[in-house]
Structure 1
Amino acid sequence: MTQNANRQNADRTALVLGATGGIGGEVVRGLQARGWAVRALHRDPGRAAAPAGGIRWITGDAMNARDVAAAAEGAQLVVHAVNPPGYRRWAELVLPMIDNTIAAAVSSGARILLPGTVYNYGRDVMPLIGEDAPQNPFTNKGRIRAEMERRLKHAADAGGKVLIVRAGDYFGPRSGNNWFSQVLAKGEGPLRRITYPGRRGVGHQWAYLPDVAETMMRLVEREQVLGAFASFHMAGHWDADGTAMIAAIRRAVGRPDLPVSSLPWAMMALAAPFVPLFRELGEMRYLWREPVRLDGARLAALGIEAHTPLDAAVRETLAGRAASSSRAAASAQAATFASVAESGTPPK
C-alpha cells in the first residue's frame, strides 16, 4: 500500500459491525493499514476488546435500526461481520440485523461487505461450488443465510451496493471462535492432542483469517469494477483428505507423533437437548462428513487472492493461541493478587 493510496483513503470511512470478532477484527486492521477511518458499534465500548487502536467507538446495538443508521452516516463501507454468539438465537436476530445494515448502507450510499458462508448451499451443488451456484440449503442456519443474501441482492437491484466474500472454515492468530481454536487445538498451554471433527479421507476447506481480510481489502480497492452485486469465493487451503491440517499442526509444534482423537459426535447428540450449542453444531456435522469446496474462479482470474502457505499460517495461529493463554494466565494472576490485596489473606 503506497502513501499516495493511504492519503486517498484518508477521507474514506468504514463502519464495522462485529469489530471485536475474528473476521471483523482482521478487517479493521486491513482498513487502518490502508488509511481508512474506522468506526465500530458496540453496546458497551468501554468493555470492548479492541482489535486495534484508532477506532472510533460508537455506543449502539446492531439490532437497533436508528443506532446503525446514525453510525453509518457518511460512511462509504459497512462491514456486516456480526453474528449471534455461540450459534444461538439465529432465527430471531440474524435477519433483523441485516435489514438494519441494508437500510443504513442504502441511506449513506455505502457498499455492504459481507463475509459469506457455505451454509447457503445444498447437496445439489456439492462438492465443488461455483459463485453462481443456486442456493438450496437444507439446514436452518443455511436457510437464514440464504435469505440474508436474497435481501442483499434485492437491495443491490434497487440501487444499493454489495460485496460478498465466501471462504472455508476460519483460523487465525487472533480468533478463538472457530473450529480450529475450539476443537482441533483447544485448551491452554502446550498442545497435547488434536481433536479432529471430520472423517478421514473427506476433504475440508480452510481459510486463514488475515488472508480473508486482505483479499476483501483488495476487492474493496477495486470499487470501480465490482458492480452493484459482487460475490467471490476464496480457494483458501483445501485439505483433500483431512490429513494436511493435522500434519501442519504436528510440524508447527515439533511433534510428529502428537495424538489425534475424534470429536465425540454421538455423545454431543445425546447431550444436545440440554446443551443448545451441541444441537447447533450437530446441524453442521455434514460439513465434516462430506467434501464441500468453493470454486474461486473469479478471484483466480483477477489474481488477487491473498494466500499464506499452510505451515506459516498454522504456526502464526498457534503462536496467537500461546499468546492468548499467556494473557489469560497473567489476567488470572492479577485477579488473584487484587483479591489478596483486598482481603489480606495469602493465596493457597
Structure 2
Amino acid sequence: MATKTVLVLGATGGIGGEMARTLLARGWLVRALTRSGTPGLRDGIAWEPGDALVAEDVRRAAHGASLIVHAVNPPGYRHWQTLVLPMLANTLAAARTNGARVLLPGTVYNYGPDVFPFIAEDAPQAALTRKGAIRVAMERELEAAAARGDSPVLIVRAGDYFGPRAANNWFSQVLVKAGQAPRAIQYPGRAGVGHQWAYLPDVAQTMAQLVERDDLPDFARFHMDGHWDGDGTQMIAAIRRVLGAPDLPVKAFPWMLARLASPVVPLFRELMEMRYLWKEPVRLDNARLRATLGDEPHTPLDQAVRASLIGLGCLPATPLASGRAGVGEEFGTAP
C-alpha cells in the first residue's frame, strides 16, 4: 500500500499531537504547521512554517495530503467568534484542492439538555454556550462541504479528554494539577452524576482506524464511549488506586469562586460555560462505531490513569514502594 500523507493542524495540542504520533507509528508521512518553532524533521514529523489562519500556508503544507486533521483552536480561549470559522475555511479550501478528507475532533458541548442523557450521532445540536454554537456552525460547514463534493469529512466525538501529554483539560487542570503530586482530588461534578471520559491514545487509535477504511461515506460522524463513570466515583477511585493513596481527600470544585472571578479570568469564564455538563449525566452512544469497527480501542482505566499521571508529572515513572497497595495488579493490555 502506498504511503499516505497527513497534515495535522494543532499538532502541539493534546489530540493533534496524539494523532500525529499515532499516524506516524502506522506508517503515515506526517506534516504539521509551526508558527514559532523551527521548521524541519523532528521525531519523525515534518514541521512546516505557517499559520492556520493563512490560507496559502495551509494549502502549501497540505500539498499531496489525503487527510487534514483539524485540531487547532485559538489560544487561550480568545477570539473564537472571529478566528474559528476562518481557520476551518482554510482547511476546507486546502482539502478541496488536494482531494483530502477533513477529520474534526468533535465536542460534547454541541448539545444541550434536550438530548441528554444518551446522545446518538443524529441528535439535534442545540448548544447552550458561545463555543458550543460555534462548534455547531463548524459541523454544519463540514456537512455542507461534503454534500457539495468538496471534501469528504469525518467527525469523531468523545467525552472529556485525559492523557499523558494532554495538559489543557478537566483532568490535568482540576482533578489533579500537572507537575505536582496530588494532595487532594478536586471534582467538579455532583455526587451520583455520571460522567464520560476519553483517554487520548484510545481516541487517536479510533480515529486512525476509521480514516484508514475505504468504506466511509463522504460525511461520517461517530461517537465514542470511552470510560463511562456511572456515578462520578470511578475516576476518583482509579486515581487513588494508582497513587496508592486510598484516603486521598476529595474536594468540591469552587464553582462560586469561579463565577465571581469569571469576568476577569478567561479560564474560569470558559469553565462556567461548561458547568451544565457536570450537573446531569451526559453519555455518547457508540453503537454506530461498534457496528463499523467491531469494538472501540479501550485502555483499562487504571492503566490509562497511571500513564496520564506519569506523563503529567504527578507520579514518578519508577514503581512505587511495595507497601503502597493497588499499583501493578490493576493494569491490563489495551486492545
- In the superposition, the TM-score normalised over structure 1's length comes to 0.87
Find runs of 4+ consecutive structure 1 residues off by over 4 angstroms: 323-326
Query: What residue is the counterpart of 2:156 in the other structure?
Result: 165
Query: Given that residues 178 and 314 in structure 2 are in contact (C-alpha distance below 8 angstroms), is that contact kept between their aligned partners in structure 1?
Result: no
Q: Is the 8 A contact 1:9 1:34 kept in 2?
A: no
SS in 2 for 1:164: strand
Q: Which of the two has greater helix per residue?
A: 1
Which 5+ residue runs of structure 1 have no aligned equivalent? 1-7, 327-348
Structure 1 residue 226 and structure 2 residue 216: aligned? yes
Gaps of 5+ in 2: 318-335
2:205 paired residue among 214, 220, 231? 214
> In the alignment, which residue of structure 2 is the partner of 1:180?
171
| Corresponding residue of 1:14 | 6
State the partner residue of 2:15.
Answer: 23
Question: In structure 2, how many angstroms separate the alpha carbons of the residues matched to 1:193 and 1:127?
Answer: 29
The structure number with the bigger radius of gyration is: 1
Q: Per-residue displacement from partner, 1:290-321 (whole Å, max 9, x unpaired)?
A: 21110001111131410001111111111112
Shift of 1:325: 8.9
Deviation at 1:134, TM superposition (A): 1.3
Number of the residue aligned with 1:150? 140
Question: In the TM superposition, what is the alpha-carbon distance from 1:324 to its structure 2 partner?
Answer: 9.2
Q: Which residue of 2 aligns with 1:338?
A: none
Structure 1 residues 79-88 or 94-103, which shifts more? 79-88
1:107 aligns with 2:64: no
Percent of aligned positions that are identical: 65
Residue 46 (structure 1) shift:
2.0
Number of residue pairs matched by the alignment: 315
Equivalents in 1 of 2:203, 2:49: separation in Å? Answer: 27
* Aligned AA (1:173): P
Q: 1:192 aligns with which of 180, 183, 202?
A: 183
Residues 252-291 of structure 1: pairs in structure 2 closer than 5 A: 252-291=242-281
Take 1:278 and 1:88, find their aligned partners in 2: how far apart are those partners? 13
Partner deviation per Cα, 1:250-285 (whole Å, 9 max, x = no partner):
000000000010111101111111112211211111
CA contact (8 A) 1:193 1:260 kept: yes
Residue in 2 aligned with 1:329?
none
Paired AA for residue 219 in structure 2: F
Residue identity matched to 1:29: R
Q: Select the residue among 129, 137, 149 that pairs with 2:127.
A: 137
TM-score after normalising by structure 2: 0.91
**How much is the aligned-residue C-alpha RMSD, in angstroms?**
1.7
